[in-house]
């Protein structure tokens, strides 16, 4: 069975999102591509798209997602607010590899104002070439992220922070 994928962008990333959507739709490793917007010319701020897409990942509606904004950073910050989601900007092949193999990230974020379209498309393709190994030495580290997420519960901690 292939990947189910969601894509999303704000107005600063819609061109790359549409290119990547077409690439993924033609990729035999991928069964389904859901487009969460925006459509060309539509202006929705990135947090709304990023969280909508991340919720699809969190509830298991899709396996992975690709988000595009101007830098990729706002999308990543927004998507990571959804418990269970691991999202990050990655603009080189090694980072994309480690995003999956080290961090078990389900969401790749890209910046249309930072990298060119051919690199963006290549990185999106590469993202689906890796599978996280739950028996690897990276697994306990990812589990620690999940433990902190559960412990912190998404609400501000009243206790003073210290190192």
By beta-carbon proximity to ligand E4P, the closer residue of 31 and 45 is: 45
Q: Cβ(159)–Cβ(131) under 8 Å? A: no
Q: Cβ(37)–Cβ(46) under 8 Å? A: no
Q: Which of 69, 88, 109, 163 is catalytic?
A: 69
Give catalytic status of residue 109 as yes or no.
Answer: no
Which of 34, 44, 58, 73 is in the footprint of ligand E4P by CB under 6 A?
73
By CB under 6 A, which span of 35-43, 66-74, 80-88, 136-144 interacts with ligand E4P? Answer: 66-74
Three-state SS sequence of 35-97: ECCCCCCCCCCHHHHHHHHHHHHHCCCCCEEEEEECCCHHHHHHHCCCCCCCEEECCCHHHHH
Query: 52-61: string of b/e by CB count within 10 Å (b at 16+)?
Result: bbbbbbbeee
Which of 34, 37, 44, 70 is in the footprint of ligand E4P by CB under 6 A?
70
User: Is position 51 an interface residue for ligand E4P (rule: CB under 6 A)?
Assistant: no
User: Is position 12 an interface residue for ligand E4P (rule: CB under 6 A)?
Assistant: yes
User: Is position 74 an interface residue for ligand E4P (rule: CB under 6 A)?
Assistant: yes
User: Is position 8 an interface residue for ligand E4P (rule: CB under 6 A)?
Assistant: no
User: Is position 46 an interface residue for ligand E4P (rule: CB under 6 A)?
Assistant: yes
User: Is position 36 an interface residue for ligand E4P (rule: CB under 6 A)?
Assistant: no
For 5, counting Cβ atoms within 10 Å of its Cβ (0-12 exposed, 13-18 middle, 19+ buried), the class is buried
Q: Which residue is nearest to ligand E4P (CB)?
A: 74
By CB under 6 A, which span of 54-62, 69-77, 128-136, 137-145 interacts with ligand E4P? Answer: 69-77
Query: Is the preceding omega at residue 154 within 30 degrees of 0, hence cis?
Result: no
**Rounded distance, CA 3 to CA 100, Å?**
14
- Interface with ligand E4P (CB under 6 A): 10, 12, 46, 69-71, 73-74
Just list the catalytic residues.
69
């Amino acid at each position: 069975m292939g990947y189910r994928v969601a894509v999303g962008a704000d107005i600063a990333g819609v061109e790359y999102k549409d290119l990547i959507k077409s690439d993924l739709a033609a990729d035999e490793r991928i069964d389904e591509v859901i487009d969460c917007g925006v459509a060309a010319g539509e202006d929705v701020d990135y947090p709304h798209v990023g969280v909508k897409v991340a919720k699809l990942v969190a509830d298991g509606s899709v396996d992975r997602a690709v988000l595009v904004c101007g830098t990729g950073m706002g999308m990543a910050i927004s998507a990571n607010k959804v418990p269970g989601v691991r999202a990050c900007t990655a603009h080189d092949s090694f980072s994309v590899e480690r995003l999956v193999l080290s961090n078990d990230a389900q969401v790749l974020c890209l910046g249309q104002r930072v990298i060119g379209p051919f690199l963006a498309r290549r990185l999106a393709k590469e993202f689906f070439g890796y599978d996280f190994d739950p028996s690897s030495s990276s697994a306990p580290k990812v589990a620690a992220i999940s433990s902190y997420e559960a412990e912190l519960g998404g609400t501000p901690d009243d206790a003073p922070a210290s190192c």
